[in-house]
């Protein structure tokens, strides 16, 4: 659905809400399905990077500013991203199964940087600034946080808990997006 359609006469831009149909960080693009229907909206990786992310989960809710071009409708600015909705389904990781979403949100965000992440293996590690221990990153936590992949050196904000096998991220945000979130 269009959220208060904003028309920019000079650039013919419009605010649109929808779901990410798919996004491939290797190809550098993906598509959004608008709540109001119509043609798919191109989402280029540079627009995503301007929002502070290098990837986005399929089915994430997104609000964008679009522009009609000769090649179709394209997102030119991301206004907000919400992770996919999974209902009351519990997090699949045993370390997180006993922790409620509200409890996770009570954990403060910590600044960190991706050490490495292998999407095909489904996990990786990050370092929290000023702390020697690695933080385990699971692909399912990324998906529930609205991300699909991470690159080495990428800055993050994480809610970190002590799991049975060490420190692990319970929620992950792109650093720039986390700056505007309330702890």
Position 183 scores a pLDDT of 45
Residue 91 and residue 103 in contact, taking contact as beta carbons nearer than 8 Å: no
- pLDDT of 134 reads 93
Domains of the chain, CATH where assigned: 13-82 (2.40.50.140), 94-178 (2.40.50.140)
Nearest to 175 by CA among 138, 145, 144: 145
Position 102 scores a pLDDT of 62
Q: Tell me the two tokens of residue 84.
A: 């996919």
Quote the DSSP letter at residue 156.
E
**Token code pair at residue 144:** 């529930």
In this prediction, residue 137 carries a pLDDT of 93
Question: Which of 83, 53, 51 lies closest to 171 in space, CA to CA?
Answer: 83
pLDDT of residue 9: 45
Return per-residue pLDDT of the chain as tens, 183 residues: 444 444 444 457 899 999 999 988 888 899 999 999 999 999 999 999 898 888 888 888 999 999 998 889 999 999 998 887 754 444 445 556 556 566 777 888 999 999 999 888 889 999 998 888 899 999 888 888 888 888 899 889 999 988 777 899 988 887 775 565 544
């Amino acid at each position: 659905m269009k959220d208060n359609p904003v028309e920019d006469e000079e650039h013919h831009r419009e605010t649109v809400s929808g779901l990410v149909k798919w996004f491939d960080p290797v190809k550098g693009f993906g598509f959004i399905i608008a709540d109001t229907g119509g043609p798919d909206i191109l989402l280029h990786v540079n627009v995503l990077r301007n929002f502070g992310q290098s990837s986005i989960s399929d089915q994430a809710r997104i609000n964008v500013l679009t522009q009609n071009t000769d090649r179709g409708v394209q997102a030119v600015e991301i206004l907000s991203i919400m992770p996919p909705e999974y209902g009351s389904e519990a997090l699949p990781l045993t370390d997180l199964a006993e922790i409620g979403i509200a409890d996770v949100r009570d954990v403060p965000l910590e600044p960190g940087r991706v050490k490495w992440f292998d999407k095909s293996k489904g996990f990786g590690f990050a370092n929290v600034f000023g702390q020697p221990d690695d933080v385990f990153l699971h692909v399912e936590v990324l998906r529930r946080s609205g991300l699909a992949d991470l690159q080495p050196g990428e800055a993050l904000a994480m809610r970190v808990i002590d799991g049975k096998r060490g420190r692990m991220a319970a929620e992950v945000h792109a650093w720039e997006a986390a700056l505007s979130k309330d702890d």
